[in-house]
């Protein structure tokens, strides 16, 4: 189904929710797997890299789709600052959805550990071109990877806060544009 003034297209909706779910799991397990006490850490690292690269691929597809397909325009009742905040949040998400996994990939490419990275235990993940093994570089990339994940969480809080305000306070059907089954249930 195509985008209309009332909803995003089915492709945009499917990609939005798939990426949101994977990113939130990556952040949760990302912080857990770096704790010494966490069992099965090595296995979780491998799944983390696999789903992280999945986010990268899905986000690039989503961005290409987004640039080629119109999205519903924002509701008329929004104030100027709200429109700017929504746009900045959405652009920030796209930058981080692509930037954080790229930094993760560069980080494992800079690692000196002789680990063979295989996505889903099947597809070999080559080292990123131009990145050579270096403890200093790996450490800096780790820092930015963590900051990037925290920025996603910050945007997430603003984004969900905005979505819930639209739904429960403005009651303007914005959430239903991304969750069409809510259409007839707007409070």
- The site for ligand HEM (CB under 6 A) is made up of 12, 16, 19-20, 23-24, 26-27, 30-31, 34, 45, 48-49, 52-53, 55, 66, 71, 74, 90, 93-94, 97, 100-101, 104-105, 107-108, 142, 145-146, 149, 152, 156, 159-160, 163, 174-175, 177-178
Supply the minimum distance, in Å, between the C-beta of residue 39 and ligand HEM.
16
Nearest to 6 by CA among 160, 165, 175: 175
Nearer to ligand HEM, 45 or 140 (CB): 45
Nearer to ligand HEM, 34 or 134 (CB): 34
Determine the Cα–Cα distance for residues 50 and 169; give it in Å rounded to an integer.
39
Supply the minimum distance, in Å, between the C-beta of residue 138 and ligand HEM.
9
Nearest to 66 by CA among 160, 3, 159, 155: 3
Contact 123, 99 (CB under 8 A): no
Question: Looking at the DSSP assignment, which residues form a beta bridge with residue 7?
Answer: 4
Nearer to ligand HEM, 146 or 170 (CB): 146
Supply the minimum distance, in Å, between the C-beta of residue 183 and ligand HEM.
12
Query: β-pairing, 123-124 with 118-119?
Result: antiparallel
Supply the minimum distance, in Å, between the C-beta of residue 149 and ligand HEM.
3
Q: In whole angstroms, what separates CA 183 from the centre of its chain?
A: 25
Please tell me whether residue 39 adopts helix, strand or coil conformation.
coil
């Amino acid at each position: 189904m195509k985008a209309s003034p009332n909803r995003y297209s089915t492709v945009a909706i499917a990609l939005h929710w798939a990426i949101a779910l994977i990113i939130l799991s990556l952040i949760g397990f990302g912080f857990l797997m770096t704790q010494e006490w966490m069992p099965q850490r090595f296995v979780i690292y491998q799944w983390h890299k696999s789903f992280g690269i999945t986010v990268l691929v899905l986000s690039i597809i989503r961005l290409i789709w987004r640039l080629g397909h119109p999205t519903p325009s924002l509701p008329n009742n929004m104030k100027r600052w709200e429109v700017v905040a929504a746009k900045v949040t959405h652009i920030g998400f796209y930058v981080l959805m692509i930037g954080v996994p790229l930094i993760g990939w560069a980080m494992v490419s800079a690692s000196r550990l002789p680990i063979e990275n295989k996505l889903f235990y099947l597809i070999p993940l080559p080292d990123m071109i131009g990145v050579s093994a270096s403890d200093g570089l790996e450490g800096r990339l780790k820092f930015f990877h963590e900051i990037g994940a925290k920025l996603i969480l910050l945007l997430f809080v603003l984004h969900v806060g905005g979505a819930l305000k639209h739904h429960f306070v403005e009651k303007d059907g914005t959430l239903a544009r991304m969750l069409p089954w809510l259409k007839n249930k707007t409070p």
